[in-house]
Chain A
């Protein structure tokens, strides 16, 4: 059974499957070329929570969140290519998670999990390092691929100290899927535009660099709750609600 967050099922202690790993496993299998199970899982979890999963249910998101708390001389809030790079995760989703496992197959008709194999640092951290540390047999067979993935993990860790959740912002295909549901999800943010004083505090505090008032439930909103906490007029609220209930008009 899948869990909502990016949780590598090669981790020795894992009890659930990563939805992105599972999607590649089904698409890359010789038997299936479409996954109803994973489509349904994404529809259900995405429609219920949207990117609340990124903010509160993803173990790799938590690791990045903790790394960002490490003090550093200068944290990078945004940079010139920040916004365009946010689209990279959708390209990674399309190419590495869907197209390559589907079409690059061996003689038996089986495709590789390209994203897990070449990109995902969560697998290296949660599965690779613990398993290889504990097994002399596995230590004897590590090669270029492991060093490549270790380098990606180290870059991700270092960047996570400087930039808030760089993997979630630019790379994560699971976040890309849930982002598509942010505008329609049952758990959502509401802005009471009559209460809003346009002080701009919410925009300044948003770690994903969006404007919670102008871009409520934006694709990049991970529902961290920072804007809600800082809003002194109580204009921003969140909760589970069927239908839309944004109030008033903002001049």
Chain B
């Protein structure tokens, strides 16, 4: 028969450490140590003349593919092993970490007991990275297309062609069989290097390199026109090329904050930064008391 006061079982079956972000500047770490590892800890720290400090070693893996050695930096947080969990304040938001629970021995040695999951801390402000690519997603994911418009900021910002029209353009082309399972996304095309339509072959660059994507820097050539999409028959290419040439002619503005404007009085549309507006209003709301309950 069930006993309501029965305590939950002690849970350290294996030595493990888990990292949970709380907010941009705070993470929670909990760990458990299996019995045989406790003996090991006793052995490491019990040697005469040696002191072993339990630590959480934080590896900053924000920009790297972490293999255990390539972290861009690391730091230790000294802990009391018996505590079982710890809160750690961090200086910078939007970082990815992986941590080792271990013993730091005198002389700089490190004895690892467990490695955590990788986890990311949240962003604390909007991104500076301005890059527009668009995704067309039709009902039930029957078609998903990536579209990267020109980056060049312009001032005669006119209305974009109706997105619906772009949809029509795609829909008219019955080039692929329908997915087998219409409800579950049956297909998702990944972006591949562009198939170059003849008309705009000169201005179509290749895909950005990984490093460019990482740092958000644009190759100046690429700024002229970037247009990536999946391979499709020639007729489709021609129509898309026409669409983009028309857009170029209309000198459409895409990037609200892109630099390089030569007009001292940018248009209303360029000055409007709706992300900043939304963000400010959100912050104001945080301080004015939200949920009434």
B is bound to A: no
Interface of B with A (CB < 8 Å)?
Answer: none
